Each structure stands twice: as C-alpha cells, then as structure tokens.
Amino acid sequence: MSDSINSQSSIRERVLKSVSLMIATFVAIVAIVNLFITHNYLLATVEASISGLFIWMHYKICKFQPLTWQPAVGALLITFGLLHGFNTAPENTNIIFWAYPLPALYQLFFSRTIGAVSTFSMLGGIILIYYPEAIFQFEVSHSLINFILPYIMIWAVAYNHEGIHLSIQEELANLARTDNLTGCLNRRALTQDWNNISQHTGQYLLHIDLDDFKAINDCYGHEAGDLALKTFTSVAQRVLENSQCYRVGGEEFCLLFRSDSNNDALELSQNLGLTLRETTIHVSNGDINVTLSGGLLPLAANEVWPLDVAIKAADEATYQAKNAGKNRIVFCPQAKDN
C-alpha cells in the first residue's frame, strides 16, 4: 500500500481529481449562459473564476502537487456566486435548488466540522434571503420546511459518509502498519515513526534476533516458530511497557524505548532476554525455551540518526552478541560519524 493511505488530504485530493474537471466544465457552461443570455456579468465572472480554479486544481493533482488554499477558495467562490444569484435572480427561477449540492461539496472541501459549520451557515443565509419571516416573525412556511428537510438530509448523508470513510481509512492505515502474525508494528511503521521518535532525549534502539530460530522451525515446525515470535512480542510488551515493538524481519525485531541512563537501558534489555528465556513455550511435540541476542544503541537528541544507519549499527552489535555465544545484549556506543 502507498503512504497515501495515511493521509486524509491525499484521499480527498484523489476524489477532487475525479470531479474537478466535471465541476469546471459544468460551471463554465453556466458562465456562458449568464454571460450571453442572462447578461449577469458579475456572476459569469465568478463562475469563470471557479471553472479556472478547478482546472488548476486538477492540473496540480495530476502533477502530484499538494492542494493548500485552493479548495477553500473554490468553496468561497461557489458560495459567493450562489448568494449573489439568490439575491439577483427573479423569484420564478427556482435558483434556490442549486443549494442542494453544497453540503456534499463542503464536506469534500473541508473537514467534517468545518463542512458542517459551512453547511448550516449557508442554510442561515438562504433562509435570510428567501424566508426572512422565519427569522424576524417566526413564521415557518411549508415551502421552507420542504427546502430545509432535504437540505439537512443531504448534509447528514455526506457527514456520516465522511465519518465512516475516516474510520475505514484509519483502520486500513493501522492494518498497513501492523504485523499480522504478532500484532506488533512492522518495518513500514518504523520508517514512518522514526523521525519523530529518534530525536527524543533518552531514546534507545534495541535490535533483537531470536537465537536458533531456523532450528526451531526445522525441529518443531513452523507453527512452533510462529508461537515463538508471538511469545517474544508478548514478553516484550510486558517487560518494556512503554516501548514500541516493530517486527523488521523474519525473527528480527526493533524496540524503541526511553531510559534515564545507558546502564538502566542495558539492564532493561537484559531483563527482557532473561524473561524470554524463562518463558516456556508449549508446542504439540514438546516444550521449548527461546533466547535472544541483541544490540542496544543510544540515540542522542543532538545527533541525527538515519534509520538505515541506526539499524546497521545495532545489527552489528547483535552480530557481536551472536559471536560471543548468543543469549546476551551487546551495548553499541554511538557512532561518531553518521
């Protein structure tokens, strides 16, 4: 999956890409009608501006350029154009029905909250223009009720659709960041989180490799190997409660956690190894105990650690732990040149 799954704005821009040309074309036709038939030159100018803006938005999205102020300006121009039309059009034109697409457009252009505020602000403006007696004399006509109810229903559908869309988007983003076997985070999540996490004072990177993992798979089967991975994840989350656990390879994990000193961080890491070793894993054809080897890397807040450099340094320390007899943590001093 692409990183765009994590970005609400990128999803919105993809929707805008598909509808921007349609809106631009439709508004351009209305602008031509107002220019040559109704001779409403101000409204035609606004509509031509809207059409041009949406063509520009489509171009920017096609060129993978982010939209910043353009959707907000587009919404303002559409709102201004409709309010102007409401004030100037003859009563028998029924131009008021052009307000019905606005709730959906506001939800597309803005967030749910701002879209809702815009929707009901526009509703207030329409009532003030067409039904002033409802505000000043508290007289509610059947015509007003027949307008308001569909308008609010359209908003409710768009608002709830956006809420469901955001919920599904968040769920998909979490799935894309999660290892489906162990339930911990994956390497993609580590890449996304790295810049925010690695610069914090007192942060440590612990690179873990489960010892003799291939032998476990060969002797006890892959189900035993999977259970060993799940057991490590459970132990890591229990021993290092405030850590972030990432599975970055088959039997490789990275843990990010905070500690007050190098000695405390090393002690916590060794306690993780001890707890895992003492945890018996029951499989169909016997019981097994798993050990780990790891490299511990301190991440100083005043140093920049690219992710690949940090993992390489911690992996080298893990390799030293393997060569020293496994079942141990090797402390990796900070590299002087990153």
Confidence tier at 157 by pLDDT (50, 70, 90): very high
CA 121/CA 313 separation, integer angstroms:
57
Task: Quickly state the pLDDT bin for 233 (edges 50, 70, 90).
Answer: very high
Report how far apart, in Å, the C-alpha atoms of 293 and of each of 62, 135, 161, 254, 281 are.
Answer: 48, 74, 49, 12, 18
d(CA 252, CA 265): 19
pLDDT in tens, 261-287: 899 999 999 999 999 999 999 988 889
C-alpha 222, offset from chain centre: 34
pLDDT above 50 (res 1): no
H helices of 131-141, in order, are 132-136
Query: Looking at the predicted structure, is the pLDDT value of residue 177 above 90?
Result: yes
User: Nearest-CA neighbor of 174 among 163, 189, 193, 190?
Assistant: 189
pLDDT band of residue 338 (cuts 50, 70, 90) is very low
For 171-190, what is the mean pLDDT?
93
**For residue 310, what are the CA distances in angstroms to 85, 264, 268, 305, 336?**
61, 20, 20, 6, 12
pLDDT band at 300 (very low <50, low <70, confident <90, very high): confident
Percent of the chain with pLDDT over 70: 93
Please say whether the beta carbons of 181 and 229 come within 8 A.
Answer: yes
Residue 212 clears pLDDT 90, i.e. is over it:
yes
- Dump pLDDT digits (tens) for 87-139: 888 777 788 999 999 999 999 999 899 999 999 999 999 999 999 999 988 88
pLDDT value at residue 91: 73
What is the pLDDT, as a whole number, of residue 184? 96
Sign of the torsion angle spanned by Cα atoms 277, 281, 286, 291: negative
